[in-house]
Amino acid sequence: MHRGNTASSIPRLLIILGLLSSFSLMAIVPAQGEVDLLMEVDPPSEVDDGPLISNFTSYFDYNTMQVYLKELEDRYPSIMKLFSIGETYEGREILCVKLSDNVNTVDDGIPGSEPDALLVGAHHGNEWMSYEVPLYVLSYLLHYYGQEGPNGSAASFLIDNREIYVVPMLNADGVQYAHDESRTWRKNREPNYIGEFGPTARPNPGLYPVSYGTDINRNYGWMWHLDGGSNELITGAATYRGPPDNFDDDGDALIQVDLITGRLPIGVDEGIDEDPWDGIDNDNDGQVDEDPAGGFTTHEARAMRDLGEKNRFPVMITYHTYSELVLWPWGYTDELPPDSSHLASLGVRMANMNGYRPMQGESLYPATGEMTDWFYSQYGTYSYTFEIGRTHNMPGEEILEQVQRNLEPSLYLLDSAANRYRSHITFDENSTLATSSPDGIDVEVSFEDDGYPYPFSEDRSRVIYRVNGGDWTWVPLNMVEDGNWTGSIPAQEDGSEVEYYFEFIDSQGGSVVEPMYAPYDYNTISVPMRNLWAVYMVPSTLFVMIFTLGTIWGGFTFGIYRSLTSPRRGGS
């Protein structure tokens, strides 16, 4: 027997096995062909309040809010402007905040400019949560502007692409009175007078106030004259709508006294308050609503009317408490408004976000002379009321919960200023599929459409993408038989990172993008290393690998060989 020859063959055998195993490991790589790509999509944003928390643990009043807003303006002068849109009866400024990346540019809301949006709080003095929500929304936008992550994407997109107006505390007098004197105070603080024929807006000298306060949200002009949605005679009532106009605005009255105030005139007083704000030529003189019966007697309602006339906001929210509702026009009647399906679609979408119940305003109770009806009737504004919480008197410990609950729908409305029909389109949670082939990266997207009013154009809809942080470019989208839309991004090098989003253009030029805040937010796909052999198995790399593996396995085998052939030592 030749034990030495047998043992010497072991290293050679193990070296060969080692090399074979190394080559077999290198062979286990994805084959060139169709490969599913890794989809990286930002998860839903969990609000990281950071320094915001300390400002929303107790209620502001008018004075502390004024200081807070001034501090914010000083901290963010390039994107926030604080200004007054009027004064209250007691001389407080009605403060308005504008957020924009061009904050000092005068914006008249004309088509082609950045879309305007409006948030309004505190029509009523006792509804303190109603101003905390818009204060939180503007604070969130300022805090996260320019930051990374989902919150930063939302804040930066909205400030850069919208003109956002926030009137956080419209009824400054009423709020401060509720803080200082009576927690339940609802109305503003204007005095009310009774003249010869009832409540009057033009008191004679020497008259003394019989009560104080008008319900600002019953003092807008639209349908102010109708009965049942407010209180017309009892000036001390919580829903007192203000005194009648009682003036011949168009100069055609037989006598200058309206004997039946607040209603359409009949008899000898015809010509006084004969053509109220209702969209009808009631006196057949070829003019509409030129002799109103009343409305806009308060400083606050006039300030909002003037702001609306200037900007003609596409969308707005007015915040109130309470009942956990999202409401839209009409508030004075159960008749459906002209845009009923679109108003409802956006309202339902926002209600799904905060868990509220959506409905047309009149379904809660009739309200005449109300803000959302005025803005919708006069400017076409998609106007919404958020009724927050389940009581007026929510403790300070609930502020964060309530403001955060209403953040997402408020941001959604701001985004919808550019396309109020977007809520009809629902993208699936896993709506995007991407696959790779030698010819490129194929992307497919699906969505549900429950009433978008215009068809999307295949000629103009597209996938917009960039590679490794380069310039954005695009390829067309095409609709396939199953209703999905597909596009093909050109093939990219292995290991590339491709960022992309979808843009759908309808026949009227309206745009729907997905993700919503694109291009500040986008989908990311990472092209895998599909052929590692082709990348790494160049001749020099192959030589180094064989040499290294041979040395390792040879040394290991030689050690085993020596241990097997070394003579054993016996003990004595």
Per residue in 386-432, pLDDT (tens digit) is 999 999 999 999 999 999 999 999 999 999 999 999 999 999 777 77
Q: Note the Cα 64 to chain centre separation in Å.
A: 27
342 close to 382: Cβ distance less than 8 angstroms: yes
In this prediction, residue 30 carries a pLDDT of: 34
Global pTM reads 0.84
The closest alpha carbon to 412, from 433, 402, 431, 426, belongs to 426
Per residue in 80-122, pLDDT (tens digit) is 999 999 999 999 999 999 999 999 887 655 656 799 999 999 9
DSSP conformational letter for 463: E
Q: Which domains, from first to last, does the chain contain?
A: 35-44+423-530 (2.60.40.10), 60-180+300-420 (3.40.630.10), 191-216+224-297 (no CATH)
Per residue in 39-85, pLDDT (tens digit) is 333 433 454 566 678 899 999 999 999 999 999 999 999 999 999 99
* Per-residue b or e along 477-512, where b marks 16 or more CB atoms closer than 10 Å to that residue's CB: beeeeeeebbbbbeebeeeeebbbbbbbbbeeebeb
CA distance 274 to 267: 12
Per residue in 201-216, pLDDT (tens digit) is 888 888 999 999 999 9
Scanning 424-524, the segments in alpha helix (DSSP H) are none
3-state helix, strand, coil in the chain (%, to 5): 30, 20, 45
DSSP conformational letter for 214: -
Q: How confident is the model at residue 255 (pLDDT cuts 50, 70, 90)?
A: low
In this prediction, residue 470 carries a pLDDT of: 96
